[in-house]
Amino acid sequence: MNPVDIAVAANESLAEFSNLLIKSAMAVYALAFVAHIVEWVFGSRSKVARTAAALTAQGAGRSGDARTAAAGKGADKVSVTVRTSGGTEVLERPRVVTRSAPGRRAGVPDGPGAAGGDERGDLYGRIAVSLTVLAFLLHFAAVLTRALSVQRAPWGNMYEFSTAFSMVVVGAYLAFLVAKKDIRWIGLPLVTTVLLDLGLAIVVFYTESDQLVPALDSYWMWIHVSLAIVCGALFYLGAVSTLLYLFRDRHEAKLEAGGRPGAFATSVLERLPSSASLDGFAYRINAAVFPFWTFTIIAGAIWAENAWGRYWGWDPKETWSFITWVGYAAYLHARATAGWKGRKAAYLALIAFLCFLFNYYGVNIFFEGLHSYGGV
């Protein structure tokens, strides 16, 4: 690669515009946050107790082992119009009956979402999502203008890393929504973290836009860092889902044992997807991201080899990437190990994500390593 051209002075007005865009995005995220709160508040009025009902039915059936959840995913496609040789006719699409493994409370239906079936709640939920889309566009524009102002990929320091990170988080969330995945329940925690992250970015990490120190100037670095951002964003979604799974699982266990959870817990947890769904979602995300995280570390090693002459040197950042990686590997193993599924595996996933976070914030701030960026 060519050396960074010093003649390219950072375009300051563009950078300022980017800052303005970030602040506007934050304002809109704040509105989305309020809308989500309203959604949850309205939703609480409807009394939902489907979990208890399902669990009681299950108890009454006393099947104990295998359970059948009628239709499942296949159900929404029961009848399909097809073209056969004769002409168009409506065929009954075969209905697939699924049967779940034991111990999973598979009969428990997913909660109705934050709005809890309340129309006004739903309206505010939609408003919140629309605001999130708007905020995302502003956020995206901010990252883009920042990139243009420095004429390079916009993740050369902690400030840029943080803004790009939360942008990808929101992007992934919206992509799931577009793909019609049931994920609106994550909206409130997501918007909250994004606000925190951006606040931290502008208050603590802010660095004027500038070029890079030579060690950071390598295309392996771009691959490494952009992948790290994407992996982190998706791991974040997995972690939120895991955390909610733990709450929801305890809630269900309590109901199953005949307990009566508090009104607030009931109101909130009943509206979330079932513990099996949350767990499944978290697993699929973590499992899908793991190979990419592996590749991220390898790309980092190749870069380190070019920059410092060794591909692995137990620098704090490398060490914590390794710890995170082994943490997620342990999680995947736990999922396949009898006696470790469920809650224990979930704790491992959370620990692994905390390691990721520590690697991202803690190591840059507390350690003197080769990875300390320009600025922070």
- Of 99, 181, 310, 333, which lies in the binding site for ligand HEM, with binding defined by CB under 6 A? 333
Count, residues near ligand HEM per rule CB under 6 A: 5
Q: Does 323 bind ligand HEM (CB under 6 A)?
A: no
Q: Does 280 bind another protein (CB under 8 A)?
A: yes
Q: Which is nearer to ligand HEM, 280 or 362 (CB)?
A: 280
Q: What are the beta bridge partners of residue 347?
A: none
What is the residue whose two structure tokens read 């490398």? Answer: 318
Q: Does 338 bind ligand HEM (CB under 6 A)?
A: no
What is the residue whose two structure tokens read 């970015």? Answer: 201
Q: Does 6 bind ligand HEM (CB under 6 A)?
A: no
Give CA separation, 246 vs 3, 63, 261, 285, in Å.
Answer: 50, 25, 15, 16
Positions 282 through 301 that interact with ligand HEM (CB under 6 A): 290
* Span from 34-42, 144-152, 185-193, 311-319 in contact with another protein (CB under 8 A): 311-319
- Of 23, 50, 250, 341, which lies in the binding site for another protein, with binding defined by CB under 8 A? 341
How far apart are the C-alpha atoms of 114 and 112, rounded to whole Å? 7
Are the C-beta atoms of 291 and 299 separated by less than 8 Å? no
- Of 303, 356, 360, 361, which lies in the binding site for another protein, with binding defined by CB under 8 A? 303
Type of residue found at 139: H
Structure tokens at 249: 């699982």
How far apart are the C-alpha atoms of 221 and 304, rounded to whole Å? 9
- Of 200, 323, 332, 354, which lies in the binding site for ligand HEM, with binding defined by CB under 6 A? 332
Residue among 253, 274, 251, 273 nearest 263 (CA): 251
Q: Does 330 bind another protein (CB under 8 A)?
A: yes
Q: Which is nearer to another protein, 35 or 150 (CB)?
A: 150
- Of 177, 329, 351, 376, which lies in the binding site for ligand HEM, with binding defined by CB under 6 A? 329
Q: Does 356 bind another protein (CB under 8 A)?
A: no
* Span from 28-36, 59-67, 171-179, 225-233 in contact with another protein (CB under 8 A): 59-67
Q: What are the beta bridge partners of residue 90?
A: 81
Give CA separation, 349 vs 74, 235, 242, in Å.
Answer: 30, 9, 7
